[in-house]
Amino acid sequence: MMRFLGRLLSLIAIGIVIAFLFSVGSAIVAISGMSQLESTPPANSILVLDMNGIILDGEPFLTDLRKFREDPNIKGVLVRINSPGGVVGASQELYAELKRTKEEFAKPVVASCNSLAASGAFYAAMGADKIVVNPGTLLGSIGVIIEFANLERLYDWAKIERYALKTGTYKDAGAEYKKLTDQEKQMFQGTLDEVLAQFVSAIATGRKMDEEKVRTYADGRIFTGKWAVDEGFADKTGTFTDALRELKLLAGIEDSAKPHLFYPPEKNPGVLKILGLSPGSESSLSENIRLSAQLFGRPLFIMSGQFPIGK
């Protein structure tokens, strides 16, 4: 009797595993099929791209933008932004490619800012024709930041000696095993000032504003969407729907028309994400540690205090 029950339980367990694998397979096939159906935008489509989280390298945003802006079926680009900013170079590349999209490819671009569009993300938004914000969207943080840590006393306590052979005075500037010299501080400050000037110039160009006015607010402060509209840093308050309406107007699409919203298929989403079981999040400890390591010691357009490097 016990042997029979053991076999029965084994068969039930095998059945459950097979059913689970079948469900996973079906989900993958379904998602794959959906991706294939959406791999090419139909006629009269609006390309919708998301700019979320810390900007590290601009991907896959840039790949999708470059690929689909050439498609004649794409009539415009709607960028949804929810980001505190990120690395300087990547933020500038996003700005440049959005600007190129509207100028060289004659595809209108509208930025729809959700909760946060600060620093590098705000820089990138300057490449759009129009910027639509919620009244309480946090914008701005016009500035550049770079951080270093001096672990010299910690190394002394741990009896660790660090040695560096270098080819120039500044090759180890910012190294964690020593203090920054006055010359190094001056060098880094000069770099930050130069990058800030580029930031200010991009805003003045994109918003058709006087550079002196932009510089007045280029001190890292955060401002609301309503204030940004009142002062000329954004075009109007509104939702995603309002941003879409603005884009239709720029693209010459009748307001009553309903263009297809084309979302580029996600590349290799993974089984767990397909099933809605993706573990962890950007706020997890391991993710924060990884981001801190990647961003530390690099000039950044980022809202201080939003992530570990600013704390």
Active site residues: 119, 171
Q: What is the DSSP string of 180-200?
A: PPHHHHHHHHHHHHHHHHHHH
Collapsing DSSP states into helix, strand and coil, what is residue 15?
helix
Token pair for residue 203? 């805003």
Q: Which residues pair with 51 in a beta bridge?
A: 81
Enumerate residues 6+ apart whose C-beta is below 8 A from 15: none
Element housing 133 (H / E): strand 130-133
Residue (of 244, 226, 242) closest to 234 by Cα position: 226
Q: Which two tokens stand for residue 170?
A: 């500044």
Instruction: Find, among 224, 247, 244, the residue nearest to 234 by Cα.
Output: 224
DSSP class of residue 262 equals E
Provide the CB-side half-sphere exposure for 84 (13 A, CA).
Answer: 15
At residue 207's C-alpha, the angle toward residues 145 and 225, to 5°, is 70
222, β-bridge pairs:
140
